[in-house]
């Protein structure tokens, strides 16, 4: 970030400056998610995301949950997704499929 400029910008390793409005939609999405987690200040919190994989490179999808966990280990993540790459191998045991939630509800209501 460039503190001399009044606009949010990033300076790359090769000294190239990029303003936030020049970021791709995936980079903006990732920035918003990570800034949200950063603002939690490692306090217990719940982060609800609806299809955060949209506009994210596949590599970023694989790493998103882990990065959030590193930034705030006290953050519970509730994610709605169509992409298995979001939860990957490490988080498979934490996944609940919608059909597993709806079916028991229907059964208890006599539907």
- Say how far apart CA 47 and CA 22 lie, in whole Å: 26
* C-alpha dist (Å) from residue 3 to 7, 11, 28: 8, 11, 19
As a whole number, mean pLDDT of residues 35-43 equals: 95
| pTM metric for this prediction | 0.72
Instruction: Report the mean per-residue pLDDT for the chain.
Output: 84
Asked if residue 86 is part of any domain, the answer here is yes
Asked if residue 77 is part of any domain, the answer here is yes
Count structural domains, the chain. Answer: 1
Give residue 57's pLDDT: 87
Asked if residue 81 is part of any domain, the answer here is yes
Radius of gyration for the alpha carbons in the chain, expressed in angstroms and rounded = 18
23 in helix, strand or coil?
Answer: coil
Asked if residue 36 is part of any domain, the answer here is yes
DSSP characters over 64-97: HHHHHHHH-TTEEEEEE-S-HHHHTTTTGGG---
Q: Which residues pair with 2 in a beta bridge?
A: none
Asked if residue 18 is part of any domain, the answer here is no
Give residue 10's pLDDT: 82
pLDDT in tens, 45-70: 999 999 999 888 888 888 899 999 99
């Amino acid at each position: 970030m460039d503190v001399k400029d009044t606009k949010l910008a990033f300076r790359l390793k090769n000294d190239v400056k990029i303003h936030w409005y020049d970021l791709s939609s995936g980079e903006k999405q990732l920035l918003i998610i990570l800034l949200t987690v950063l603002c939690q200040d490692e306090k217990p919190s719940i982060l609800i995301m609806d299809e955060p994989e949209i506009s994210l490179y596949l590599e970023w999808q694989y790493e998103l949950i882990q990065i959030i966990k590193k930034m705030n280990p006290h953050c519970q993540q509730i994610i709605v997704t169509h992409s298995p790459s979001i939860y990957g191998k490490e988080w498979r045991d934490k996944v609940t499929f919608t059909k597993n939630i709806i079916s028991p509800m229907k059964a208890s209501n006599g539907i």
